[in-house]
Structure formats: structure tokens, C-alpha cells
């Protein structure tokens, strides 16, 4: 089984991953070890740089009794010096799981098609399902589930947003998505969410989006690889009032997948406010991914 998009998991499977994550998090807090990856190796392919993805996956493999190998841009030539399908088949003979953080989503799809071990999407330009696992784990911890929580996404309809839209649909989480005109979630993602049962409400008004919600979630306006669009995007988002301030946040909880561009999509005061649960959210990348790895290897 591969994990390329959040909706590759059914509701039951997703709940199993989150339950495993909670158990492993509690075991770690008690100083207990786990051996689900004893004698097993995780290959980590990185075309894009990362702090949280690399450290959380490498630490997770270690805490599960396994080993992780970092394969950066200078170590591997994915799709350039060697076809993706050849890399997939060769690595399958050495390791037990492949995680890839790449630009083109089709590369992880091809890895998954040709690998004979599970392939995990660590991020592509289209999706960030591992982040959504951590997001859902964090919400479940604070609300005891998903029935009593409502989330407002305020910002760009980017890869993080698109995965969160699908994750919310899988678990039945109420979601409102506010994006500037022209920067919304892809229609294909909204259609998939509707097929899963819960399409989000969409708006171009951030104040209307957060009204009546429990959590405000935002992300950078200019994602990695979009540097040439920076000035255009900043003007569009700033002009439409999409910065998350203390005033917009109010007494709601705040989530951000990090890294944060303080002074752009969020103010320093909002990020440092009492409602910010971004550091719990960041730590939960580790636990959610351990839950995922044990689920895939079970």
C-alpha cells in the first residue's frame, strides 16, 4: 500500500493511523521504545529542502527501532540521470519504505507504481498528506474527535490546503476555505471532497470565514518554487486582508504548517499568542508519521 494522497486512506484506515500515533506518542512520553521497524530501513528522497520532514521521519524511524537513509539532490538523480521507475525498482531491493519529497506529483505516482515496497509522499507541489495527518491528530487531541470542531483555512489554496480539504472530507470535519480570487482550491479537489462526503464552504472573505469557527489555519502565501510570483501574490493577499492578525484570530486556536513568514501571512503577535498550537502541530508530524509507518508495515 502506498500513501500518496490523504484520501488513499479510508476513514477506518485513517483512524487506525491516528490511534497508532496517539499510542506511540504516549509510549515515547513514558520513555518506552517500539520495535515496529527493527531491522528495517526507510529511504528518504529529497528534491526540496526540509527541516520538519527530514527530522521527523528520520527520528521516527529511529524511535521505531529502524534506520533512515537521506538521499538529497546530490545523492540521487530522480528522473534525470536515471528514470524514476528504475530508481523505484532498485531501492525496493534495499529498503522497506520509500519516502519522497519532490516537486512533480507524477514522480511519486511513478515511484508508487514501480516500487515493491510502500511509497510515502513527503510533499509534492500538489499534495502534502503527511502534514494533514499531523493536522488531524492535533485537532483530535484538542476536541476529542472531529464532530465538534470547525476550521477556517485563510490563505492560499496550495498543496497543504488541498490535502487538508480532502482530509477534512474523509473524517467529516467542518471546513471553510477563504482564498483571494484566483488562488482557490482546484475544482478537481473540491469535486473529490464532495465525493468523499464533505466539500468545504468557500469564500473570498477571511472575516466571514473565521466567524463561528474554532480553529484558524494558514500557510505561506508564496510556496517553494513560486519565487517568481512573489510580488504578485503578496499584493493580491495583502490587498484582500488575508494576513492572520490577533484581531482576525480572536479567541480561536491557530494552526500553521511552518515555516512561517512572520509579517506576511501571519503577524508575530498572532503566532506567539496563547491560541497558537503550531508547535504541538509540528511535533505531531513525528507521531503521525510513526503511526503511518507502522500501519503501512503491519
Which is catalytic among the residues 20, 40, 54, 101? Answer: 101
Is 53 annotated as contributing to ligand binding? yes
Is 285 annotated as contributing to ligand binding? yes
Is 273 annotated as contributing to ligand binding? no
Is 161 annotated as contributing to ligand binding? no
Which is catalytic among the residues 128, 140, 252, 256? Answer: 128
Which is catalytic among the residues 40, 126, 131, 252? Answer: 131
287 as an active site residue: the answer is no
Which is catalytic among the residues 96, 107, 156, 219? Answer: 219
161 as an active site residue: the answer is no
77 as an active site residue: the answer is no
Is 252 annotated as contributing to ligand binding? no
Is 223 annotated as contributing to ligand binding? yes
Which is catalytic among the residues 40, 54, 252, 285? Answer: 285
Is 128 annotated as contributing to ligand binding? yes
Is 19 annotated as contributing to ligand binding? no
Is 87 annotated as contributing to ligand binding? no
How would you write the chain as a 3-class SS string?
A: CCECCHHHCCHHHHHHHHHHHHHHHHHHHCCCCCCCCCCCEEEEEECCCCCHHHHHHHHHHHHCCCEEEEECCCCCCECCCECHHHHHHHHHCCCCEEEEECCCHHHHHHHHHHCCCCEEEEECCCCCHHHHHHHHHHHHHHHCCCCCCEEEEECCCCHHHHHHHHHHHHHCCEEEEECCCCCCCCHHHHHHHHHHCCCCEEECCHHHHHCCCCEEEECCCCCCCCHHHHHHHHHHHHHCCCCECHHHHCCCEEEECCCCCECCCECHHHHCCCCECHHHHHHHHHHHHHHHHHHHHC
128 as an active site residue: the answer is yes
- Burial grade of 69 (CB within 10 A; 0-12, 13-18, 19 or more): middle
Closest to 168 in 3D by CA, of 142, 201, 141:
201
Which is catalytic among the residues 257, 281, 287, 295? Answer: 257
Is 200 annotated as contributing to ligand binding? no
Is 30 annotated as contributing to ligand binding? no
131 as an active site residue: the answer is yes
Is 159 annotated as contributing to ligand binding? yes
Residues marked as binding? 50-53, 101, 128-131, 159, 219, 223-224, 257-258, 285
Residues marked as binding for carbamoyl phosphate? 50-53, 101, 128-131, 257-258, 285
Q: Catalytic residue numbers?
A: 101, 128, 131, 219, 257, 285
Residues marked as binding for L-ornithine? 159, 219, 223-224
Amino acid at each position: 500500500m502506498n500513501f500518496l494522497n490523504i484520501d488513499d486512506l479510508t476513514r477506518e484506515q485513517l483512524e487506525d493511523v491516528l490511534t497508532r500515533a496517539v499510542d506511540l506518542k504516549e509510549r515515547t512520553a513514558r520513555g518506552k521504545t517500539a520495535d515496529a521497524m527493527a531491522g528495517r530501513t526507510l529511504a528518504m528522497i529529497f528534491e526540496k529542502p526540509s527541516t520538519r520532514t527530514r527530522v521527523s521521519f528520520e527520528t521516527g524511524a529511529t524511535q521505531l527501532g529502524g534506520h533512515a537513509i537521506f538521499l538529497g539532490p546530490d545523492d540521487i538523480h530522480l528522473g534525470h540521470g536515471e528514470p524514476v521507475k528504475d530508481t523505484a525498482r532498485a531501492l525496493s531491493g534495499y529498503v522497506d519504505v520509500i519516502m519522497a519529497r519532490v516537486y512533480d506529483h507524477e514522480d511519486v505516482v511513478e515511484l508508487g507504481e514501480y516500487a515493491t515496497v510502500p511509497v510515502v509522499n513527503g510533499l509534492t507541489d500538489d499534495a502534502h498528506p503527511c502534514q494533514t495527518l499531523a493536522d488531524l491528530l492535533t485537532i483530535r487531541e484538542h476536541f476529542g474527535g472531529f464532530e465538534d470542531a470547525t476550521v477556517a483555512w485563510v490563505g492560499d489554496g496550495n498543496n497543504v490546503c488541498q490535502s487538508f480539504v480532502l482530509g477534512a472530507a474523509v473524517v467529516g470535519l467542518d471546513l471553510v476555505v477563504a482564498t483571494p480570487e484566483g488562488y482557490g482550491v482546484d475544482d478537481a479537489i473540491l469535486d473529490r471532497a464532495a465525493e468523499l462526503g464533505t466539500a468545504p464552504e468557500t469564500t473570498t472573505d477571511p472575516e466571514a470565514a473565521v466567524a463561528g469557527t474554532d480553529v484558524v489555519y494558514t500557510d505561506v502565501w508564496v510556496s517553494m518554487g513560486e519565487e517568481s510570483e512573489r510580488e504578485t501574490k503578496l499584493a493580491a493577499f495583502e490587498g484582500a486582508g488575508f494576513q492572520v492578525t490577533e484581531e482576525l484570530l480572536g479567541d480561536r486556536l491557530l494552526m500553521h504548517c511552518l515555516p512561517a513568514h512572520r509579517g506576511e501571512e501571519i503577524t508575530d503577535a498572532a503566532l506567539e499568542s496563547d491560541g497558537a498550537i503550531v508547535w504541538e502541530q509540528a511535533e505531531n508530524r513525528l507521531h503521525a508519521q510513526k503511526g503511518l509507518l507502522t500501519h503501512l508495515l503491519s
